[in-house]
Each structure stands twice: as structure tokens, then as C-alpha cells.
Structure 1
Amino acid sequence: MRPRGKAEGRLWLRALEILQELSFCDCTILSMSQRGEHQESKKKLEISPSETMKAEEESYKEENKEPKSEDWRPPSVFGAADLKNRAVGLYNIGQTCCLNSLLQVFFMNIHFTKILRRISVPVCGTQKKKNVPYQMLLLLEKMQCGKQKAVSPKELAICLVAHGVTMFVQYDAAQLFLTLWNLLKKQMKNPELVEKLSDLYTISVQEHLTCQTCSSETKRNSSMLTLPVSLLDSDSHMLKTLEECLQCFFRPEELTGHNMCFCEHCGKKTPFQQSVKLVHLPQTLTIHLKRFCFGRSAYIHKISSCLPFPQDLDFNAVLTEQQCQAYDNEKAAWQYELFAVVAHSGSTSYGHYCAYIRSLTECKWYCFNDSLVEQVSWDDVKSTYGHSDLSWGQTAYLLFYMRKHRQ
């Protein structure tokens, strides 16, 4: 989806020229069919840093030696969640609909913008251009202080390219969300802000592996950025609601036959039971609906079937006592309401993203479709449930739930 106006077109062309000059441009389309890893494991943990982050780590060792500046808190930035006057879109500068949708979800989250406004300013100009949190803050200020209906994310895009994030390609929203979050966390110099960012988004679980022969059990605490739930049960039958998907994710799984594990106590491979128990949920809970999966012929296809999701979600009503490993005061905070939906329309090889977000100040729903922003109804949001006969229709892909305020 390219910019439509002459001014928008000039911005897009200029961004292309700059990125080509930097020799970072790679216009190869990354098909979603190349990302089958989202369905390889039913309970795959998704907090591990991306390969991009590993390559970046060495380059920042030298930069970290330089002195840090004082915290910068620009008084002109109020947060994009304040939509009392107007909402601001983001121009599509070349297949950036996925990036634009995720940025709007970040900016509309008041809890996130409070953290972003407290970051430290990088010392030199080069560091400023390569610092993702700083460039996101500049973009946020530009959105709030200007008079345009939309602004260009060109500078942030160039910053991301410098860290190996390819532009002008189609992205998987779950993968790009993880990449952005890891870049934000790594480049925030203030340990307090890093902790706040982690607390805002990180899910804690406990993995259990129990031998069915001798009953020996091993436990491991893990962190997740999203709950990657399958839309199919163990028999490949379509699940009917989000609650069923969550129950299926936390349901114990029997590892038998070729899936048996070696037991040190038994000295041989034995049947095991694998389970994941919920320990902690964050302020902002992200659920990844795994709509892209392998077919019988090893062909990646998109599941467009209808999957309703509620506006209000109570994990105490969804999970059993055996599926939780948390104290009562923790469980009392497991009351959530829907905050945002990142929806995908199209196929596994080509498509478009937009974001439906509920303003936390107005309690109204908006659709952020690149530069076009308009108020919508809950019925419009429900249109992202999906439909088996509309393979190119909009389907929810990422769900963001916000913890309710405790009375």
C-alpha cells in the first residue's frame, strides 16, 4: 500500500534513496510461508533475542563506554493515547504497514509512553541516529506537535535498517514485535526503565516435565513476550473461541512413542508428561494467534476461520488450579480488557496489516490503517474474527489485553 499524494510520494522516494545510499536496501519479499517456525512447537517460548540482536551486541560495546547524559523528558510530548483533539497516522514508505501498526500500538499505550519519555539522550549524533528508543520518542513528539494528518517514520526506519531490520519487505507481525521490543530493551541505558519495560510486557511461566514411569519431575522457570496459541487442537480440529485456545495451550501433553524422553532415573527413554503453568501476567498481555501453519503437503497456509475473542478476559475463569502456579494476590490481578488488535488481510505470501486500538483516554475504538485513521465501532473490530469463506479478509493476528484497574 503506497502513499497516495505527491508529498507522500516524495517522502517515499526520498526514503528509498537514502536507504539505497546506505547499501542496506533489500527489496526481496519475505513470504510468511518462510516463517513456519511459528507452528513448529505448540508451546515455543518467544522471548529469546533475534539473530539481529546477536549481531548488534558487539557493535554496542564501544558505544557503551561513552558517558551517559542526563534523563531527557521533553515537556512537549503528551503521549499518542491522548486523542481528544485528533489521531495521527503514519505514512507507508514501502511495505511498512506492519511496522506502522505495531508503532501505533506502542504509542497508544500510556504505560509504554511513560517509560519512553524517561529515556536518556545518546551523547553524539551518530548514536542518536542508531538509538531505537530515542528515534521512537522523536517520532512520537513529531506526531503530537505537528499539524499533519500523518507523519513519515523515515528516520526510525533508517535507524532500524542500521540494526539489520530489512525494509521494503513483508513482515510477520509477531516476529517484528519481538525484534522491536528486544531493540528497545537493549538500548535503554537506565536499569530502572529496562525493568519497567520488562514488567509491562513479560509473561512468566513454569515448565514441568514428569516421567510417567518413575514420577520424577523437572521444573524450569521461563519468560515469554507473547502467548503463542494454536487455533487447532492436538487432533487438528479447529478451536471455537480464544478461551479454548488458551486452555489448549496450558493443557498437559503426553510425550509417547517417538516423542519419549530419556529419564536419568530410569536409565532409558520413557513416556513423559509436559505441561506449562502460568506464574505471572504483565500489565499489557500480548496473545499471538498462530494462523499460519503447515498443511498435509508441508505447504504453509493461513487459517482464516472465525475465532471470537472477548472484550473482557478473566484468566481465573479460563484456567484450572492445576494450570496455574501463582499466589492468590497475583491471580486477583488477572482481569483484562481488550486494548488493541493487529489484523492481517491477505495470504501467506502477500498481505496488509492494520491496527484497531481502543483509546485509553476516550474509551473509543480507532482503526489505524497507515496514514488513514478513523473511529470505528466494536462491530468493526469483531470483523477481524475471521471467516473460512473469506481467505483474503481481515483476521486478528495479535491481541493486546490491558489489565483492569483493581477496585
Structure 2
Amino acid sequence: MQSDQSQPAPHQDFLRCLDRNYICFHVQQDADEVFLSILNLIQQQMSDKALAQEIHSLYKVTVETYLQCLECTYIETGTSFLLSLPMHISESHDSLEDCVRFFFKLQELRDGDKCYCEKCGEKKPFKQGFKLISLPPVLCLHLKRFRNSHGYTRKLHYKVTFPETLNISEILTAEALSERYVQSDSQYSLCAVIVHSGDAMFGHYTAYVRHKDQSWYYANDSYVRQVSWKEVQNTYGGSQREDTAYMLLYRRTPEGKQQEWSSG
């Protein structure tokens, strides 16, 4: 996937490269899976490992895996890395902020979901989840609009609103932050929206991209046109709308640029 040339590779060459690595675009693909596959291929195939790691780090969210016994308060933690955050959507989670809070909310495991507690020596009810350690320069959020039930996959058309600017520190509670949480600028600006049109079995992906001059553009294969933020908001979903936001990419906003971005 690497070239000695410093100029960007033509997109047809890039697509052929993906095809050679078994990412075929003549069949239905999941945008989030393709995104993760490309990052993994970069990690595996680039000879410049430092650069490959730097690219990887652009999207890497560091989280703490957290398990706590609800009877003896025994705690077990670990560290994990995510390149995109999977957002569970439902009728009760109708905003991106709700989805982020739900992702970092600790869940109780009881009855058949109990975990073995080393201190108690038997299975006990546990509290489980993720706590945030650090955020990346580019935050990728995957709205999980496809759900499988009894062997049948369907698309969820629930409305999920998302803002142009997002401040993670204002969304999360102290419980959602690890003791190892790295304080950093948590203000982000939306820079791209990947949109899925169609249903679970057949569809098409397009994108809305924010230019550095703050203008929004719509890209559908080779067709590109300038659009308004209001048109981007039409991808929130709801009322069985086919064109729904599927992936959201937010870029960390330098403190001095925050006002400039928010006025775009």
C-alpha cells in the first residue's frame, strides 16, 4: 500500500490496492469495517513503521476496561484501544451526546451474566464497562444502524442528532473517566459525515465533508457540490429516511480556532 512517490496516489490505484487485499467494492461493504481494515493494512504493510504508527494514533481512543464485583468491591482493570467508538442507537438515545454517555455508562451483570470474582471465589454480580483514558486528534464515531436478530439483519432508522461542535468533557461524568485520564483539549468540530442510503441488504455510501474554509460539500462518487449545514442535518434519520448518518468524524479544535470553526 506504500509508494515511493510523495504525491497522493490516484483513487483508482488506491481502489485496486484495496481489491488486492480482499476489500472488494463491487459487493456490499460496511463503511466502518473498511475504515478499520485500511488502518490495519497501513499498520501491517508500510515499511515506515513510525509513520504507520503516527497514522494509527490519529484515531486511537485509549480506554480502561473496568470490572467491579458488586459484593466485595474487587476491581479488575485493563487497557484497550479503539479506532472508532461504536454507538448503540435506540429510540431513547436520540442524540450523539446520549450515545456517548451510554457507551461509557457502566452496566450491571447479574443472573446468567455474573462473572467469576477472584476474591469471593465464585460467580458474583459485576459492574462492567469502559472508562476514558485519552482522546485522539480525530474522533471517529460509528452509529450502529444495523442490528441482527434471529438471523435477520435490519437497518435502524432512529433519529440521532449530532452537533457541529462536540465537547467530550461536558458530556461525560466523573465516573466515566479513568483515574489515568489524560487531560487534553476535548473540544471537537465535525469534519465529515459518512451517509448510508438504502437498507441492510443493499445500499450506497456518500459523504459530507467540511472544507477548511468551513463550507460543507456533498460527495457522491465523482459528483461533488457545495451544500448547507441544514442539508447535512437531514441525515439525522427518523421517519424511515433512507439517507442516514452512519459514521461521524470529529477533529480536535485548537483552542484559538474554536470560535472560527463554530462560526462556519
TM-score (norm 2): 0.91
Identity %: 36
Residues 1:337 and 2:195 are matched in the alignment:
no
| TM-superposed deviation, 1:275 | 2.0
Residues 1:404 and 2:253 are matched in the alignment:
yes
Return closer, same or farther for 1:388/1:238 CA change in 2, 3 Å cut-off: farther
Q: What whole-Å deviation, never above 9, does each CA across 1:251-292 have from its counterpart, x for those lacking one?
A: 110000110011122121110100210111111110000011
CA separation in 1, counterparts of 2:218 and 2:178?
Answer: 37
Code of the aligned partner of 1:389:
Q
Return closer, same or farther for 1:224/1:304 CA change in 2, 3 Å cut-off: same
Residues 1:301 and 2:154 are matched in the alignment:
yes
| TM-superposed deviation, 1:184 | 1.4
Residues 1:195 and 2:195 are matched in the alignment:
no
The equivalences for 1:170-249 within 5 A come to 170-232=28-90, 237-249=91-103
Residues 1:291 and 2:145 are matched in the alignment:
yes
Residues 1:346 and 2:195 are matched in the alignment:
no
CA separation in 1, counterparts of 2:52 and 2:232?
Answer: 32
| TM-superposed deviation, 1:373 | 0.6
The alignment covers a number of residue pairs equal to 256
CA separation in 1, counterparts of 2:139 and 2:4?
Answer: 25
Q: What whole-Å deviation, never above 9, does each CA across 1:287-342 have from its counterpart, x for those lacking one?
A: 000011134x55211111211100010011100111112678x4341100100000
Return closer, same or farther for 1:354/1:280 CA change in 2, 3 Å cut-off: same
SS at match of 2:87: strand
Q: Judge conservation of contact 1:384–1:395 (CA < 8 Å) in 2.
A: yes
Q: Judge conservation of contact 1:135–1:159 (CA < 8 Å) in 2.
A: no
Q: Judge conservation of contact 1:135–1:156 (CA < 8 Å) in 2.
A: no
| TM-superposed deviation, 1:363 | 1.4
CA separation in 2, counterparts of 1:397 and 1:137?
Answer: 32
Q: What whole-Å deviation, never above 9, does each CA across 1:2-38 have from its counterpart, x for those lacking one?
A: xxxxxxxxxxxxxxxxxxxxxxxxxxxxxxxxxxxxx
CA separation in 2, counterparts of 1:159 and 1:248?
Answer: 37
Return closer, same or farther for 1:210/1:378 CA change in 2, 3 Å cut-off: same
Q: What whole-Å deviation, never above 9, does each CA across 1:130-171 have from its counterpart, x for those lacking one?
A: xx2439976x354xxxxxxxxxx3332222222222341010
Residues 1:395 and 2:247 are matched in the alignment:
no
Of 85, 91, 113, the residue aligned with 1:259 is 113
Code of the aligned partner of 1:165:
I
SS at match of 2:225: strand
Q: Judge conservation of contact 1:340–1:355 (CA < 8 Å) in 2.
A: yes
Return closer, same or farther for 1:192/1:371 CA change in 2, 3 Å cut-off: same
Structure 2 unpaired stretches of 5+:
257-264
Q: What whole-Å deviation, never above 9, does each CA across 1:31-66 have from its counterpart, x for those lacking one?
A: xxxxxxxxxxxxxxxxxxxxxxxxxxxxxxxxxxxx
CA separation in 1, counterparts of 2:240 and 2:119?
Answer: 52
CA separation in 1, counterparts of 2:202 and 2:66?
Answer: 39
Partner residue in 1 for 2:215:
364
Point out the structure with the larger strand share. Answer: 2
Of 113, 125, 128, the residue aligned with 1:274 is 128
CA separation in 1, counterparts of 2:196 and 2:228?
Answer: 18
Of 167, 179, 194, the residue aligned with 1:314 is 167
CA separation in 2, counterparts of 1:284 and 1:320?
Answer: 22
Q: Judge conservation of contact 1:280–1:326 (CA < 8 Å) in 2.
A: no
CA separation in 2, counterparts of 1:311 and 1:238?
Answer: 21
Structure 1 unpaired stretches of 5+:
1-131, 143-152
CA separation in 2, counterparts of 1:309 and 1:188?
Answer: 35
The two structures, once aligned, show a CA RMSD in angstroms of: 1.9
Partner residue in 2 for 1:24:
none
Q: Judge conservation of contact 1:316–1:331 (CA < 8 Å) in 2.
A: no
Return closer, same or farther for 1:394/1:133 CA change in 2, 3 Å cut-off: farther
| TM-superposed deviation, 1:394 | 0.6
Runs of 4+ in 1 over 4 A off after TM superposition: 135-138
Code of the aligned partner of 1:134:
S
Return closer, same or farther for 1:270/1:242 CA change in 2, 3 Å cut-off: same
Which of the pair has more CA radius of gyration?
1
Q: Judge conservation of contact 1:226–1:287 (CA < 8 Å) in 2.
A: yes
SS at match of 1:240: coil
Of 2, 6, 13, the residue aligned with 1:155 is 13
TM-score (norm 1): 0.60
Code of the aligned partner of 1:225:
L
Return closer, same or farther for 1:364/1:207 CA change in 2, 3 Å cut-off: same
Partner residue in 2 for 1:325:
178
Partner residue in 1 for 2:3:
134
Q: Judge conservation of contact 2:109–2:115 (CA < 8 Å) in 1.
A: yes
CA separation in 2, counterparts of 1:182 and 1:358?
Answer: 25
